[in-house]
Every structure is written in structure tokens, then in C-alpha cells.
Amino acid sequence: MYGFGIIKSLLLALQHFFGTYWDDFRYGRKRYKTPEGIAHRSSKNARGIFTIQYPEEKLPTPEEFRYIPFLLYEEGPNGEKVDRCTSCGICAKVCPPQCIWIVRSTEPVTGKPIPAPKEFYIDVDICMNCGLCAEYCPFDAIKMDHDYEISVYDRANNMYDKEKLSKPVSYYASIRPTNFVSEEKARKEVEAARAAAKAAQSTPSS
Ligand code: SF4
Ligand code: SF4
């Protein structure tokens, strides 16, 4: 029937309207600005219309959410930062808009290249958050961040340097716990296989 769809959509809007009051009645003040309320409104059980009171409250980001890449460093026993990056350049090669620049470290006397980044830049105005750099990095040294609150007044600040890009492995473990556990398991397996191969090579054959 002509117009039936319009009536149906209006009824649906009305249902959502009253559903909002029903959920407000059931959950009271807990519905807003509490982890429990946010979890409920993010779930399939939420009813009615709701508005996120950003920035006072924020929806939790899913683990696979990706924004700007960051570099991982291990925390040494004396608090020193040990970069995972070897400045191999693969991420810069695969980056579709070519927004990564790397300068490799060199040995001061001989000038020989050292597998560590001296400088590392990402132009976050150009980065399209595709995640290819993180996918291709053979050393798990670059990962996609969850932090999306990076607005600035001066765009000159959007050329992130190594200092700004670097975050500890513990931070990565906190935002992507499932990925972290599976990657660490794989890394340990590779290390164990390498150690076994080395031991086999050094064992004299009878
Ligand atoms: S982040 Fe990974 S892929 Fe990029 S230069 Fe460093 S080690 Fe290579
Ligand atoms: S997320 Fe994509 S666009 Fe951004 S730096 Fe990595 S590869 Fe380049």
C-alpha cells in the first residue's frame, strides 16, 4: 500500500523514542557515564535512542581498531629504551601514500650502517590508517594505535618523529592483549627453533 513504508518507519522511530525512556527507567543514572552503562549501550540489548556524551564518556575501542602507527620499544633492566625497529625500511616501501621516512643509524667511526633507526618520521596528515606497515613489519616493531584524540591547531605538529612515535611494549599489550599473546608465542617459537638449529650446528658429528 502506498505510504505504508512511511507509517512503518514513523512507528519504528516512536518505538525507539519510548525505548529510550524504558532503558532510562531500568538503568537510571547508571546508563550514562559509567562503564556499565556504556557497555550496555554498546551491546545488542540497548534500546531506544542514545547519545554519547563525548568527551565525558567514550565508547570502548575494539581491539582491531587502528589509527596512527606507533613504534615499539622494549624496556631494559635499567629503564633504557631498546627499539625493536631495525630500520629495514619495509614499512616505508609498502606504505601506499609514502608517508614514512627512516634514517638508519651508522657506526660513528667507520660509517657502517647499524640496524637501528636514527630518525623515523610519519606524516600523520597523509597516513590513511591502512595498517600495511604493521602487517608487513617482520620484527613486530610498528603497530596501529587506538589513540584517536590527536587534533592540533598547528599542522606542523603532525610530522611525528621517533620520540613521539615510540611507546613501550607494555602499552601495546594493554591495547591489543589477544594480538600480543599470540605474537609473543610465535616469537618465542621462532627463537627456540633458531636456538635449536644453532645448537645442532655446534654439536660435532661423530
Ligand atoms: S618498523 Fe619494522 S618494517 Fe619498518 S623499518 Fe622498522 S623493522 Fe623495518
Ligand atoms: S598505516 Fe598505512 S598509510 Fe599509515 S603509515 Fe602505515 S602503511 Fe602508511
Q: Could you read off the pLDDT of 109-156 as tens digits, one per residue? A: 999 999 999 999 999 999 999 999 999 999 999 999 999 999 999 888
Residue nearest atom 5 of ligand 2, based on CA coordinates = 127
pLDDT class of 205 with cuts at 50, 70, 90: low
Q: Determine whether the shortest distance from the Cβ of 101 to ligand 1 is under 6 A.
A: no
Domains in the chain, ordered, with CATH?
Answer: 1-56 (no CATH), 67-186 (3.30.70.3270)
What is residue 165's predicted lDDT score, i.e. its pLDDT? Answer: 98
pLDDT class of 1 with cuts at 50, 70, 90: low
What is residue 9's predicted lDDT score, i.e. its pLDDT? Answer: 92
- Which of 24-28, 90-94, 127-131, 145-149 has the weakest average pLDDT? 24-28
| Residue 131 CA, closest ligand 2 atom number | 1
**All cell numbers assigned to 155:** 599542522
Q: Determine whether the shortest distance from the Cβ of 175 to ligand 2 is under 6 A.
A: no
pLDDT tens for residues 46-83? 888 777 778 888 888 899 999 999 999 999 888 899 99
Q: Determine whether the shortest distance from the Cβ of 69 to ligand 2 is under 6 A.
A: yes
- Which of 86-100, 105-119, 190-204 has the weakest average pLDDT? 190-204
What is residue 206's predicted lDDT score, i.e. its pLDDT? Answer: 54
Q: Determine whether the shortest distance from the Cβ of 38 to ligand 1 is under 6 A.
A: no
What is residue 21's predicted lDDT score, i.e. its pLDDT? Answer: 85
**All cell numbers assigned to 192:** 627456540
User: pTM here?
Assistant: 0.82
